[in-house]
Amino acid sequence: MSVTDGTQSASPGRPPTNVVVVEDDPASADVLQRRLQANGMRVSVGRDGAEGLALVRQIVPDLVLLDVMLPDTDGYDVCLRIKSDGGTAHIPVIFLSARGEVVDKVRGLSCGAADYITKPWNAAELLARIDAVLAQSRNARAPRLERPVTRPTRGRPLVAIALADEQRRAKAEGLLTADFEIANEGSGPVDIVLADPNAVIDPALTDGSTAVLVVSLGEAPSSGDAAPLNADLARVAKLLVREQRVERDMNAAADALIAVATALESHDRFMMGHSERVASRAVRIAQVLGLDSSAVDTVRLGALLRDIGNAKLPPSIVHKAGELRPNEREALERHPVLGEEILKTVSPLAPILPIVRWHHERLDGTGYPDGLAADRIPLEVRIVSVADRFEALLVDRPDRAAVSEAEAVRILQTSVSKGELDPAVVVALAAGARTTPTQEGN
Amino acid sequence: MAEVTLDTSSDVDRRKEHRFLVSEAVARLALRTAGSYLSLDREDRPYQWSTTTYLDTPDWRIFRGCEGSGAVQLRIREYHRTRPNEILAADSVFLEMKDDSAHTSFKERYSVPTLDVPAYLKGQRKFPDDPAGLSGRANEMIDRAARPIVVTQYNRIAYSAPDLSVRITADHNLMYLAIPWISHDDPMPRRLGPVIAREPAVVIEVKWHEELPHWADELYSYIRGHMVNERPSKFVVAMRHLLGEEQKDDVGD
């Protein structure tokens, strides 16, 4: 496995294109690698299918160039595996093969490849096809989940007036100057952007919490995020900024709750950092299962706050090292309901309430607090349940020693056989566990 | 909703069925021979993807039955030109019931609009009565909350006699995939879960009523003599993988 960087010749300011080449012939791989690097790409080479797959899962590249004939498997197999993993399915694959019959090309394309190029390849054609595939892929791809950049709250909100017409720009500035700070060019993300209808907003002006107000050309009444260029403009702009700030405050409130949950865990040396690990594991499972970014975010937050109800229970029960008495167990099993009570007053956290209340439910209906059957337990809840149980098995507890990841998967599969856990979620966990950094380092 | 009728590819009586795992070379030779005597099946063209979704109950009643004395497999089959990453992604699908014992099988299937599938899964619609009694057993499993649990995808090449007395199929790129448990309110189509395992070779199935013709008998003997091993049904293999009851030595990752 080798990784080399050709970014010195990449366009300035643009991230390099990451390419994984899966090719067993060193000479072919070398020629290809040099050619791609010369065009500003960062290239990693896998010498067989297993190595190539590991690279793809680790790097999540922009493109995979795949030989058909490999020492350990065939390229079709590798392509199918890439396309079957929710975390890598979006990556375009181009086959590079000496097999040039129609039947081979059809088979390659039916496995989900974006293109099929026969060897010996022509460099200009290869690069043109790569560019075409990358362009299609970028257009089709949904934006990645990113945590909004935290911006200091100013006394007056910062506005960028991105209107094309100079007179309209000056008038808007006059209308807003009493309540807003006007951004200079190159100021970075602002609180609100004023834009012409159908205008393309400069991404440098926005982050996750920037409001956009369209300034209509006529005198149409204000509606939602559009307003005319008149005295009403400042009122609508202030309203939009306030909405964004409330949402930001809610996020801050959620962060505070997470801090409380983390602080509770820190009293228990066996549980310290457990929620972070559960959240991280649950996010990976959700990604393997192909959940959208909003659902992944719900899973992450739900995993972090699922045990917040413990704050309402006596620490002597929550952190008890020995076996619980029946009345203590009964009290502890109330923590999902107590957690829901705490969080339901924060309306933006409504999507995570099922996770908090039901993360100890089981598919066969033997869980608590509601004894729900499989049909009623949402997938996001099932993901957190599996991640929680898996991570708990990896750490020492007063009553038992930690087990390895492989052993923990086997234990969960036993629970699957009993009908307690969703098998697909455990399979996704196992797929994710195989590519965790700790395991690769071993 | 329209009345559902039996598909013409359903069995009229019990048929013999053997499955073998063979190398690509043996599969090519077998298909070349089969192609000399049988015609290519219209629905199973090369490079068309067959996606089969198998149902089971939360206590794995169908799987345990298939491993033991026998049970009716419930499955949903759909065909696509390119491999879908969802199930129930076609306009119409085949609901199939298959009684699969060691060496014989009996299958009935119905073409239904995909939009009607949830009504079947919730038990609001019942499989029509049939002389073989498969539908009664299938409806009982639905009442026990049978749901999609595992999926197979493969490219199938199929050759059949005009009277369906002999059918020989070869499945390439066979993959077993998990599907997250589908609750009552989940929308369709539903995204497939991760790959559980993949067959490294080719699965050949030989199915026939009464006696095999001479050429097919010779071919059958050749396949038996050159196979990697005999295979249980895809459903049983998939479930063993899913429940961790089979060594996953053919999974490359």
Sign of CA dihedral A376, A382, A388, A390: positive
| CATH 3.10.20.30 assigned to A267-441 | no
ipTM metric: 0.81
For residue B8, tell me if it sits in a domain: no
Task: Tell me what the pLDDT averaged over chain B comes to.
Answer: 84
DSSP B116: G
For residue B251, tell me if it sits in a domain: no
Residue B140 pLDDT exceeds 70: yes
Cα distance from A100 to chain B (closest Cα, Å)?
17
Residue B225 pLDDT exceeds 70: yes
Q: What pLDDT score does A440 carry?
A: 35
Strand partners, A43: A4, A19
Would you list the domain boundaries of chain A? 2-140, 158-246, 267-441
Residue B69, judged by CB atoms within 10 A of its CB (0-12, 13-18, 19+), counts as exposed
Q: Is B122 on the interface with A (CB under 8 A)?
A: no
Residue B177 pLDDT exceeds 90: yes
Residue B17 pLDDT exceeds 90: no
Cβ within 8 Å, pair B183-A382: no
Are the C-beta atoms of residues B213 and B166 closer than 8 Å to each other?
A: yes
For residue B249, tell me if it sits in a domain: no
Domain region containing B103: 15-242
Judging contacts by C-beta atoms under 8 Å, the chain B residues touching residue A409 are 244
Cβ within 8 Å, pair A377-B183: yes
**How many domains are there within chain B?**
1
CATH number at residue B65: 3.20.100.30
Phi/psi for B95 (5° steps) reads -90, 125
N-term to C-term CA, chain A? 16
pLDDT band at B251 (very low <50, low <70, confident <90, very high): very low
Mean pLDDT by runs of 10 across the 442 residues of chain A is 52 71 92 90 93 92 93 89 83 90 76 88 87 76 38 71 90 89 82 87 80 82 77 86 74 71 64 84 92 90 90 80 84 92 83 94 92 88 96 85 92 92 93 54 33
- Grouping H, G, I as helix, E, B as strand and the rest as coil, residue A13 is coil
Give B117-121's long-range contacts (Cβ < 8 A, gap of 24+).
Answer: B117/B76, B117/B88, B117/B93, B117/B188, B118/B188, B119/B1, B120/B95, B121/B55, B121/B146, B121/B147, B121/B148, B121/B182
Q: What pLDDT score does A382 carry?
A: 95
CATH of segment(s) A2-140: 3.40.50.2300
d(CA A133, CA A131): 6
Please report the number of interchain residue pairs, chain A to chain B, with beta-carbon separation below 8 angstroms: 126
Considering only alpha carbons, which residue of chain A is nearest residue B151?
Answer: A424
CATH of segment(s) A158-246: 3.40.50.2300
For residue B247, tell me if it sits in a domain: no
d(CA A233, CA B244): 63
Whether this model's pTM surpasses 0.95: no
Considering only alpha carbons, which residue of chain A is nearest residue B244?
Answer: A413
Residue B253 pLDDT exceeds 50: no
